[in-house]
Structure formats: C-alpha cells, structure tokens
C-alpha cells in the first residue's frame, strides 16, 4: 500500500477562499469503531455555526469493514465512508456545506506528508485542518519512539498560555509540518495541528483556537460523541 501520488500532487498548502475571521460554519467528520465487532463502525458528519452550535449531523453505520488498520494509512480504511457522508450533504443539504473542515487525524504532519486530513481534503475538494490528540512519531523503532516522546514532554512544558505552541519539524529536512497547540488553560496536553488542504498553518492554528471550549475543538468533540452514541 502506498500513498496516492496523483492526489498528493494536488495538495495546496496556502489559504484558498478561507478567512479565519469570517467563518459562518465549520464541519467535522469522525469514524468510531465497535469494541466488540471489528467489522462495525459508525461515521458521523457534523456542521456547527459560528457560535459553535450544532446545526446538522448525520451518521451511517458500517457493517462490513474489512480493510485492516495500518499505521500511516488510515485514509485507505476510512476515506470511502467519509466521502459518502460529504456527497450526501452536498446532494441533500448543499446550503449547509461548511467553510472548513476539522479532521480527527493528521494532515501534512505525516511520514508521507499526506495524512488523513490532507487525503480527505484533496479527494473531496475541501478546505481541511488536521487535528490529532496524540503526537506524531515518525520513526517506529522503540528507541526512537522513547526519544520522540521525551522530546515532546519537554516541549509541552514550554506551553503556558492559551494559544502558545511549538513547531513540529520533519526529522530529516526540518520542514515545519505542524504545531503542538495549547487550547485551554486547564489542559496539560496540547493538541497537534497541521495543514490539511487549501489552508495555511497560521490559519489552521487560528481556526482551531476559535473552535475550542475545551482541549478538543467542538466540531470534533460533537462528531466523536455522536458517533460513539450510535455504537451503543
């Protein structure tokens, strides 16, 4: 399995028709998996208005999930189902299409420079931001994992105020790929924000902060909560 090179060629890393100060709606999409049946999952798409109020949600159950999870290739497992939800929204409620989408996953903060948020954005022609709860580890060896986690812990201690962040760079060419961002005073751990598609890093940071009442941005919190409720 390899990254879709044709799609990656279409990746845009700057702002296209997006202004952090003029958002009317924000979307998010999430897939939650059953703990009891690995072939069952629920996909939930949500749209929030500029006051972070839920104005639309739709969930679909997947009963025949067969593609295994392979680290670094989450898009190959989920993209088909995410795209179905977006297509349904476009066909039935096109007036609710969000200005931007927050995706629970990485964008260019990825070993291939093309994580789920970027793959989803390009495939569906959407403005996207990657938001991950966990730091991205480039090297899978145990020694490198420990070293990277220790480095993240040191960087996390530098974040004091809401909006503080540290840059995350590619381990070889040192290209800036994302940030660890402190979203609330109460949260001890940052979230990890990266460009998805058609959005600059500065805009991604500004929009993510606008969406946070708690550590995790509200659109992603809504999508995750609703999808998990459908699994019960």
Determine the pLDDT at residue 66.
Answer: 66
In tens, the pLDDT along 150-167 reads 889 999 999 999 999 999
Q: 3.30.2170.10, 1.10.3720.10, 3.40.50.300, 2.40.50.140: which CATH number matches 5-133+192-231?
A: 3.30.2170.10
Is the pLDDT assigned to residue 67 strictly greater than 80? Answer: no
* CB 103 within 8 Å of CB 117: yes
Determine the pLDDT at residue 34.
Answer: 81
Q: Distance of CA 66 to CAs 37, 42, 69, 220, Å?
A: 11, 14, 9, 25
Which contiguous run of DSSP H or E holds residue 25? strand 25-33
Pairing of strands 176-181, 165-169: antiparallel
Determine the pLDDT at residue 159.
Answer: 96
Is the pLDDT assigned to residue 44 strictly greater than 70? Answer: yes
State in Å, rounded, how far the first CA of the chain is from the last one: 33
Confidence of residue 79 (pLDDT cuts 50, 70, 90): confident
Token code pair at residue 163: 């909006």
- Report the C-alpha gap between 90 and 88 in whole angstroms: 5
Average pLDDT, the chain: 90
Give the start-to-end residue ranges of the domains of the chain: 5-133+192-231
Per cent of the chain over pLDDT 90 is 67
Quick check: helix, strand or coil at residue 10? Answer: coil
Determine the pLDDT at residue 76.
Answer: 61
In tens, the pLDDT along 5-39 reads 788 899 999 999 899 889 999 999 998 888 877 77
Determine the pLDDT at residue 148.
Answer: 83
Is the pLDDT assigned to residue 214 strictly greater than 50? Answer: yes
3-state secondary structure 145-192: HHHHHHHHHHHHCCCCCCCCEEEEECCCCCCEEEEEECCCCCCCCCEE
Q: Give the pTM.
A: 0.91
Is the pLDDT assigned to residue 132 strictly greater than 80? Answer: yes
Burial class of residue 200, CB neighbours in 10 A (0-12, 13-18, 19+): middle
Sign of CA dihedral 147, 153, 154, 159: positive
Determine the pLDDT at residue 8.
Answer: 87
Token code pair at residue 22: 């003029």
Determine the pLDDT at residue 36.
Answer: 78
Per DSSP, what are the bridge partners of residue 101? 27, 128
Which of these ranges, 72-76, 102-106, 170-174, has the smallest mean pLDDT? 72-76
Confidence of residue 140 (pLDDT cuts 50, 70, 90): low
**In the predicted model, what is the mean pLDDT of residues 90-101?**
97
* CB 1 within 8 Å of CB 70: yes
């Amino acid at each position: 399995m390899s990254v879709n090179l044709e799609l990656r060629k279409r990746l845009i890393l700057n702002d296209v028709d997006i202004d952090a100060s003029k958002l009317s709606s924000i979307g998010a999409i999430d897939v939650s998996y059953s703990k009891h049946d690995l072939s069952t999952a629920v996909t939930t798409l949500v749209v929030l208005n500029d006051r972070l109020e839920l104005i639309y949600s739709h969930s679909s159950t997947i009963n025949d999930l067969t593609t295994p999870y392979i680290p670094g290739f989450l898009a190959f497992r989920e993209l088909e189902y995410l795209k179905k939800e977006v297509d349904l929204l476009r066909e039935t409620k096109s007036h609710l299409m969000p200005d931007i989408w927050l995706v629970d996953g990485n964008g260019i903060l990825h070993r291939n420079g093309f994580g789920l948020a970027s793959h989803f954005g390009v495939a569906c022609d959407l403005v996207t931001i990657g938001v991950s709860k966990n730091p991205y580890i480039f090297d899978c060896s145990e020694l490198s994992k420990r070293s990277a986690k220790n480095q993240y812990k040191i960087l996390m201690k530098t974040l004091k105020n809401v909006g503080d962040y540290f840059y995350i760079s590619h381990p070889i060419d040192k290209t800036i790929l994302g940030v660890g961002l402190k979203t609330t005073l109460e949260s001890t751990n940052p979230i990890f924000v990266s460009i998805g598609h058609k959005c600059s890093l500065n805009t991604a940071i500004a929009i993510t902060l606008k969406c946070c009442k708690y550590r995790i941005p509200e659109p992603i919190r809504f999508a995750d909560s609703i999808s998990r409720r459908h699994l019960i």
